[in-house]
A and B are shown apart, each in its own frame.
Chain A
Amino acid sequence: MNSLRRLGRIVIDSVEGLGRASLFFLEVMSGSRKLFRRFELVVQQVFAVGVLTLLIILVSGLFVGMVLGLQGYNTLVKFGAADSLGLLVALSLVRELGPVVTALLFAGRAGSALTAEIGLMKATEQLAGMEMMAVNPIERVIAPRLIAGIIAMPLLAALFSAVGVLGGQLIGVGLLGVDSGVFWSQMQSGVSFHEDVLNGVIKSVVFGVVVTWIAVFQGYESVPTSEGVSRATNRTVVYSSLAVLALDFVMTALMFK
């Protein structure tokens, strides 16, 4: 009976949390209308979440592409289809690995930093201070960060995929001897812009919304102590990783029927 009650409490709490997060999202979105006049706030945050995440994205993309080149070659060569290596690398990256791995890295690098930053601003009364200066922290602090995350994520995912394809080429063409022309032409004839590239971009935009939303919400809702902030940071990474993977499944099922 007691465990049943606990289960009920967990369900009610999570539904309530989802409701609060949704209302928060609406509030931030309505607060972000004023950002058109103050776009420099968004630019600053694009620097924080985008430029500072760039290096890890580029390096990871390169390695993921190189691994795909190696693994793909070893498998394809068994079927005498090593010519399709470019196609395999590009499709894997553009459809799945680009958006998903970028979102996971983004959650770990930028998402956790966002949560910690907002949480600390709350703990050190900076948000309360803004309120008392008649400045709405939702508009001034949260909204630019959310918008910046939504802008940065698709760009990062595109960079990840592009660098990954180059990494795959480096291994496939440079090391394993697949013909460069075949590598690219197979890729071009097999990768559809509308079905593959565009759907990958849509995925990464959705991930950008979800990961940044979770990050700013956890920061804003965190208990304003050092322990509370560290737990909120932890939750950001866990929740956004799970959300990204689950949403990826749903979107893949809808997009690539």
Chain B
Amino acid sequence: MIQRRQLELWVGVFVAAGLLALAMLAFRVGNLAAGGVNNPYMVQAEFNDIGGLKVRAPVTLAGVRIGRVSAISLDPSDFEAKVTMELDGRYKTIPSDSSASILTSGLLGEQYIGLDPGGSSHYLKNGSTIQVTQSAIVLEKVISQFLFNFASKSGSHSK
């Protein structure tokens, strides 16, 4: 029979290794490290079309991740998508006239929100709304628009 101390030591090693593996899955394999936002403040924006934007999608400014999408809902009065973002408290000085657009990482990658800083001396604070927004580019719409333009152009040529 294995000695009690030795047994407890082994169990300790096992539990520690298991927790370490869990931590690795969370931080190294998963996105927990990237997903955390420190003392966040909430900002809202309304879009005509958010495409495939999901909750927890990143919010970036100049390509740097500064927050994430925390909620998405539909505004029933004007049928616009209302997106709530939580931004990192470290970035308090984003001009209030900044614009938000929904972008796609790579050709078919996930969608995220990119902020473009404006020039105002007022800053976004908890509860503010970003006024200028640009919706997601939906591939089907782009293609159909392109075809439509192409057709009408060739139509005018034939006239």
In the complex, A touching B (Cβ < 8 A): yes
Q: Enumerate chain A interface residues (CB-CB to B < 8 A).
A: 40, 43-44, 46-47, 50-51, 54, 90, 94, 151-152, 154-156, 158-159, 161-163, 165, 184, 187-189, 191-194, 196-197, 200-201
Instruction: Chain A residues near B61: list those with CB within 8 A.
Output: none
Q: Kindly provide the distance from the CB of A52 to the nearest chain B CB, expressed in whole angstroms.
A: 9
- Please report the C-alpha to C-alpha distance between residue A155 and residue B35 in the assembled complex, in whole angstroms: 23
A-B contact count (CB 8 A): 91
Known contacts being A43-B8, A50-B11, is A201 close to B29, with CB within 8 Å? Answer: no
Interface residues of chain B: helix, strand, loop or mixed (majority) = helix
* Minimal Cβ-Cβ distance residue in B for A61: B21
* Minimal Cβ-Cβ distance residue in B for A45: B11
The answer on a CB contact under 8 Å between B34 and A188 is yes
The answer on a CB contact under 8 Å between A191 and B30 is yes
Interface residues of chain A: helix, strand, loop or mixed (majority) = helix
- Please report the C-alpha to C-alpha distance between residue A77 and residue B28 in the assembled complex, in whole angstroms: 24
Q: Is B151 an interface residue (CB 8 A)?
A: no
Q: Is B25 an interface residue (CB 8 A)?
A: yes
- Which of B2, B10, B21, B34 makes the CB contact (< 8 A) with A161? B21
* Minimal Cβ-Cβ distance residue in B for A153: B18
Instruction: Chain A residues near B25: list those with CB within 8 A.
Output: 94, 158, 161-162, 165, 197, 200
Instruction: Chain A residues near B2: list those with CB within 8 A.
Output: 47
- Please report the C-alpha to C-alpha distance between residue A191 and residue B11 in the assembled complex, in whole angstroms: 30
Instruction: Chain B residues near A40: list those with CB within 8 A.
Output: 4
Instruction: Chain B residues near A187: list those with CB within 8 A.
Output: 29
- Please report the C-alpha to C-alpha distance between residue A6 and residue B110 in the assembled complex, in whole angstroms: 56
The answer on a CB contact under 8 Å between B21 and A193 is no
The answer on a CB contact under 8 Å between A155 and B15 is yes
- Please report the C-alpha to C-alpha distance between residue A47 and residue B14 in the assembled complex, in whole angstroms: 8
Known contacts being A156-B18, A158-B22, is A192 close to B30, with CB within 8 Å? Answer: yes
The answer on a CB contact under 8 Å between B30 and A54 is no
Instruction: Chain A residues near B15: list those with CB within 8 A.
Output: 46, 50, 151, 155
- Which of A43, A47, A159 makes the CB contact (< 8 A) with B18? A159
Instruction: Chain B residues near A43: list those with CB within 8 A.
Output: 7-8, 11
1/0 per residue, CB under 8 A from A, across B51-84: the answer is 0000010000000000000000000000000000
Q: Is B138 an interface residue (CB 8 A)?
A: no
